Amino acid sequence: MLLTDQLKDTSQLTNTDQQIAAYILKHLAATSKMTIQQLAAATYTSHSAIVRLAQKLGYSGYRSFRYAITEAAYHQQHGLDQIDANFPFLPTDSPVTIAKNMAHLSTNTISRSLAQLDADKLAEAAHRITAAQRLFLFAVGDSQIRARSFQNKLTKIGQFAILAEEYNDENWTAATLTPSDCALFISYGGNTEQHTQLLQLLNEKKVPTILITGNAKSTQIQLADTALVTAQTEYENLKISTFASQISFEYVLDTLFALIYAGDYQQHLHDLKQHYQQLDEHHLI
């Protein structure tokens, strides 16, 4: 979750925390240049209160906290967070304006996703996929399109993933999984009841599971062995389309594929050349 999103989520913040958070959100640019002494004076709090808030939000101390504030201020200054993910254009916008807005939405979404990714969890997810005897992809709607794209990339390196919900038989499919397999769930809301039940079943069967979601509060995160969260400002229902969520999912899945490829780079490169030569010899490319 981005810093600005964390500061706006007051559910776990004390009154003092909220006081500091409100000041930072209102004065991002100014706060990014403040020392801890200056911020404490401006918010009528203390050094320790600011450090406690920083650590509560996942930062080691004020230095890393201030760095995150500086990044947030940069995004605000350059308008990267001003495009509405749900309604990124208006009927009165020109074609060029719409094109620019969609470009900004794409870059902003990827920046938000990158800021939230946990390097250790990314590596862990890539390892689970590589080590799996079989990989099953659980996704519906637009997310299944992203899953198919990921499936296609994996095929190019000789790893064949299975779309568990392709024939609406995901329950029986899940029942056949073993601990040597891996199940990857892709869900923006992370609240589909059937997916929750399937994750519970796979937990009991000790099947490794990965969840990619845009909901940092999803109960499915606790059920998955590895969870990758990329929260966006996109609503679950009221929106023109699933622009931000699908851009984010595509980016995360592309990153996972890149990690898998890099894990055995020379072998994959050798196989690529060999396969190209075989296809060329038979005039198939």
Q: Which of 112, 107, 113 has its CA nearest to residue 88?
A: 107
Taking only the tens place, the pLDDT of each residue in 45-94 is 999 999 999 999 988 889 889 888 887 887 777 655 568 889 999 999 99
Three-class SS of residue 135? strand
73 lies in the same domain as 198: no
pTM, to two decimals: 0.78
Which pLDDT does position 82 carry in this prediction?
67
Q: What is the mean pLDDT of residues 111-132?
A: 92
Q: Which of 107, 31, 41 has its CA nearest to residue 67?
A: 31
CATH number at residue 66: 1.10.10.10
66 lies in the same domain as 191: no
Q: What is the mean pLDDT of residues 171-179?
A: 95
Three-class SS of residue 199? helix
The answer to whether 227 and 252 have CB atoms below 8 angstroms apart is no
CATH number at residue 175: 3.40.50.10490
Which pLDDT does position 76 carry in this prediction?
74
The domain total for the chain is 2
**Residue that terminates a domain, selected from 78, 108, 137:** 78
The answer, yes or no, to whether residue 115 has pLDDT greater than 80, is no
121 lies in the same domain as 197: yes
Domain limits for position 24 = 1-78
**Residue that terminates a domain, selected from 21, 53, 78:** 78
**Residue that terminates a domain, selected from 56, 78, 100:** 78
Q: Is residue 127 domain-resident?
A: yes
What crossing angle do the helices spanning 47-56 and 62-77 adopt, rounded to 10°?
70
Taking only the tens place, the pLDDT of each residue in 3-22 is 888 898 888 899 999 999 99
Which pLDDT does position 58 carry in this prediction?
85
